[in-house]
Amino acid sequence: MKIVVTGGLGFIGSHTVVELQNIGHDVVIIDNCSNSSRDVLKGITAITGKTPKLEVFDLREKSKVQDFFKRHQDVQGLVHFAASKAVGESVEKPLLYYENNLGTLVYILQELSQKKEASFIFSSSCTVYGQADELPITENAPVKPAESPYGNTKQIGEEIIRDTCKVVPRLKAIALRYFNPIGSHPTAQIGELPLGVPANLVPFITQTGIGIREELSVFGDDYPTEDGTAVRDYIHVVDLAKAHVVALERLLQGKNASNFEVFNVGTGTGSSVLEVIKSFEKVSGKSLNYKIVDRREGDITAAYADTTKANEDLGWKSESTLDEAMTSAWKWEQKVRSIE
Ligand code: UD1
C-alpha cells in the first residue's frame, strides 16, 4: 500500500520508514530538510534494500500539499511527523510553531477528509499530561495546561483531529503519545542528528562521551525521587517506530474501536538521569564527565507510561532494554564522528 510519511528523513520518521518498508509498504516521504538531510535515504536503503520516494517541499505551502494529493490519489495512509520540536525555541517563536505544527496539520486533514477512506497517525507527546498526579500515566490522565507553545501544538493538534474525525467518519486516526525516544537503528545506518547543542539528555551524553561536549549538566538532584534526579520513560526508537506500524495496520484493517484513538507509547519503566548515565558508562566502558546543577525550568519530576492499553489493544510492547537503547545510541555517535 502507498503510505506517506511526512518528516520521514527525521529521527523517528526515518526509523518508521524502515519498519513500513520491512512489511512491504510503498513509502513516499515528504520532508523540507529543515532539520534533516537527504543522506538519510542512503541509510534507509542500506537497511531495507529499497529507496523510498522523496518529495522535498514545505507543508506550509498549501498549494503544494493539494498538488501532492492530486498526484498521489492512491495514498491509503499517512504518518505525520513533520513538526518543530524544540521547547525553548517554541517559547521564542510561538507563531512559527503554530504555523508549522498546526497549519500543516489542517492542510493534510483537509486533503485526507476528501478521500473515500484514509488512515492517519499523529505524533503526539506525553508532554500533554504535564506532571501527572498518578504514575504510571494512563491515557485517561487529564491533559494539563501546556507549559510551552510546542506542548500546546500537540494538545491542539489532537483536538483538531478529534473534531475532524467526529464529522468525517471515513477518516480514521490514532494519536501516539510518545514518552522519551532514544537510541538508533542497531545497524547504525540511521539515528538522531541534533542540530547544534542537544537539548535532550541522551545525545548530550553520547556527545560528552565522545568528547564534543566537555561535561553534562544534570538538571537537579533534589527531586522527590529515589536518587533525587528526574525520572523519564526512555523508549528505543525502533520500538517506537514499530508502534506506528502496528497502529497504522490497525486502521488499515479496520480493527480500530473508534475513528479517533489515543495510545501511550513508552516502556512502562521510569529511569532517573543518574541511571541513564550509569547505563551509558556500562555499555561504553567510559566514565562520563558530569556535574549536578540547578533544575531546568519547566521540567517535571517524573513521567512514565502505563502501557496496558497499547499492549492489549494494539498488541504492541516495547522490547529493548535501556542498555540496548544506549548501546545503539553510542554506536551511532561513534559512527557519525568517524565520518565527519
Ligand atoms: C523534552 C521536552 C518535551 C519533548 C521531549 C521530546 C522539555 C522541557 N521537554 O522532554 O516537551 O516532548 O523532550 O524528546 O524540553 N537532562 C539533564 N541534562 C541535560 C538534558 C536533560 O539532566 O543536558 C534531564 C532533564 O532534566 C530530564 C531528562 O534529562 O529530567 C530528560 O530530558 P530531555 O531529554 O530533555 O527530555 P524531557 O525533558 O523529558
Give the cell for residue 145.
495546561
Cell of 188: 547504525
Contact yes or no for 5/16 (Cβ under 8 A): yes
Active-site pick, 97, 129, 150, 223? 150
Q: Is residue 120 part of a domain?
A: yes
For residue 154, give the ligand 1 atom closest to its CA.
12
Cα–ligand 1 centroid distance for 298 (angstroms): 10
Amino acid at 2: K
Task: Report helix, strand or coil for 54.
Answer: strand
Nearest to 40 by CA among 312, 247, 249, 332: 332
Contact 249, 22 (CB under 8 A): no
Domain boundary among the residues 265, 288, 321 is at: 265
Do residues 327 and 295 both lie within one domain? yes
Note whether 156 and 207 are same-domain residues.
no
pLDDT at 340: 75
Single-letter residue type at 269: T
Last residue of a domain, one of 265, 287, 307: 265
Domain that holds residue 104: 2-182+234-265
Is the CB of 252 inside a 6 Å radius of any atom of ligand 1? no
Other C-beta atoms closer than 10 Å to the C-beta of 86 total 18
In a domain, 301, yes or no: yes
Over residues 92-133, the pLDDT tens digits come to: 999 999 999 999 999 999 999 999 999 999 999 999 999 999
Residue 165 and residue 291 in one domain: no
Q: How many domains does the chain have?
A: 2
For residue 78, how far is its CA from the centre of ligand 1 (angstroms)?
28
At residue 335, the pLDDT reads 96
| 160 located within any domain | yes
**Contacts of 67 by beta carbon, 8 Å cutoff, 6+ apart:** none
Of 265, 287, 321, which residue constitutes the final position of a domain?
265
Burial class (CB in 10 A: 0-12, 13-18, 19+), 49: exposed
163 and 118 assigned to the same domain: yes
Task: Report the length, in residues, of the chain.
Answer: 340
Same domain, 128 and 176: yes
Indicate if ligand 1 lies below 6 Å from the C-beta of 216: yes
CA–centroid distance, residue 231 to ligand 1 (Å)? 10
Regions of the chain with pLDDT less than 50: none
Residue among 253, 95, 113, 246 nearest 171 (CA) = 113
pLDDT of residue 339: 82
CATH number at residue 135: 3.40.50.720
Half-sphere exposure of 185 (CA within 13 A, CB side): 26
Mutate to test the pocket of ligand 1, among 11, 152, 176, 200 (most ligand atoms within 8 A of CB): 200
Q: Do the Cβ atoms of 139 and 177 come closer than 8 Å?
A: yes
Residue 219 to residue 297: CA distance in whole angstroms: 9
What would the pLDDT profile of 202-229 be if each residue is shown by its tens digit?
999 999 999 999 999 999 999 999 999 9
Sequence-ordered alpha helix ranges (H) in 221-321: 237-252, 273-284, 308-309
- Residue 302: DSSP 8-state: B
Sheet of strand 26-31, all strands in order from the earlier edge strand to the far edge: 53-56, 26-31, 2-6, 75-80, 118-125, 171-178, 260-265
176 and 162 assigned to the same domain? yes
For residue 218, what pLDDT is reported?
98
In 3-state terms, what secondary structure has residue 161? Answer: helix
Q: Does 325 map to a domain?
A: yes
Please give the model's pTM, rounded to 2 decimal places: 0.97
**Together in a domain, 308 and 211:** yes
**Which residues touch 320 (CB under 8 Å, ≥6 apart)?**
183, 236, 238, 239
pLDDT at 233: 98
286 and 312 share one domain: yes
C-beta of residue 154 within 8 angstroms of C-beta of residue 124? yes
CATH code of 228's domain: 3.90.25.10
- Candidates 287, 286, 288, 274; CA nearest to 322 is 274
Q: Is residue 44 domain-resident?
A: yes
Taking the CA of residue 205 as reference, the ligand 1 atom at the shortest distance is: 23
Residue 145 DSSP class:
P
Report the 10 Å Cβ neighbour count for 231.
Answer: 22
Cell matching residue 328: 545503539
Q: Does residue 77 sit in the same domain as residue 146?
A: yes
**In-domain check, residue 189:** no
Q: How far is the CA of 77 from the centre of ligand 1 (A)?
A: 31
Same domain? For 40 and 96 the reply is yes
Would you say residue 244 lies in a domain?
A: yes
Smallest CA separation from ligand 1 atom 6, residue: 180
Specify if 29 maps to a domain.
yes
Amino acid at 26: D
Residue whose CA lies nearest to ligand 1 atom number 15: 87
Helix 273-284 × helix 201-210 angle, to 10°: 40
CA 98 and chain centroid, separation: 18
Whether residues 294 and 220 share a domain: the answer is yes
- pLDDT at residue number 23: 97
* 140 Cβ neighbours under 8 A, 6+ residues apart: none
Do 248 and 289 fall into the same domain? Answer: no
150 is catalytic: yes
